[in-house]
Structure 1
Amino acid sequence: MSGLENLSEGDLETLKIIFDPTAVIGEVVDREDKFQDDEPEPSTPEYLESKSLRLFGARAAEQGKLEEALEEMNKAVAAAPELPDAYNDRAQVLRLMLKDDDPATTILVGCTNGPCRTVKYLDHTEDRREGKAIPRTV
């Protein structure tokens, strides 16, 4: 028993390519993964408005106008709240503004468990905003 009988056809082809010195590259069968196509982009008026607002927001962010970009992304979320794209784009703007962890800070401040942990987190946040290197602690 050689152990090859349990291998798939693709596995056998791979082994042949690796170990057969006479195999020609042209003989290699391209067995690309077959992924299902993404869903078509929605064409609802709400989606199109949200997309337009996101584009305005992205342009503003590229120009360094982050407050304006955030306003546009908030409008995009309001235009189509069921679609994740605007939320993702708004999150990117918040990251650029270094405000992506503000809600977490608010939650941690109200937490009575582990106040030392909260202080460390807040110190980390301030260091990050000031561009300081943050030592890794375990």
Structure 2
Amino acid sequence: MTSHDKEILNQIFNPGLPYGDEVDSDSGDNIPQADDSEAVEQAKAFEIQGVREAESGNVDAALGFFQKAVDSAPQWPSAYNNRAQALRLKGDVPGARADLDRAIELSHGRGTAACQAYTQRGLIKKKEGDDGGAKEDLEKAASLGGAFAKQMLVALNPYAALCNQMLTGVLDKLRAGDGQV
């Protein structure tokens, strides 16, 4: 799967995330499988087909291709990340969390796959009201180079949120021409 395919998929599944969120490129995209290289290549091909289906808005078909990717290379973390995103869109949050946990386990908490899984899991935890768990996952993603995770950590900081709110108020007054700040 090309980086462009990954960015497109990320935008489809996560429209609130910034396009092209960067991750450390030298931290090992995924853990290589020396004995399953043909299976991993097949899984990547299924992932590309899944991305194409997702780009077309066909989440069910995308989910089918991501399932085939998991079946082809069950030790390939990227396949679990992609399937988790499709499952989340279908409303299967427990299934998505299980896949994200598996992606983290398979990637040994390193590289792009782990960064994406920690970010996605952190967002799920945040939505479920588990701010502590969200912060922990986002910190791990940020340590792997996830720019969006870093932004989310700032947003979770109540002091940063208060400062942002105050600054927004000051800027709004200035834009409105109110000289009193």
> TM-score normalised to the size of structure 1?
0.44
Higher Rg of the two aligned structures: 1
Bigger relative contact order, structure 1 or 2 (CA pairs below 8 A, ≥6 apart): 2
Higher share of residues assigned helix: 2
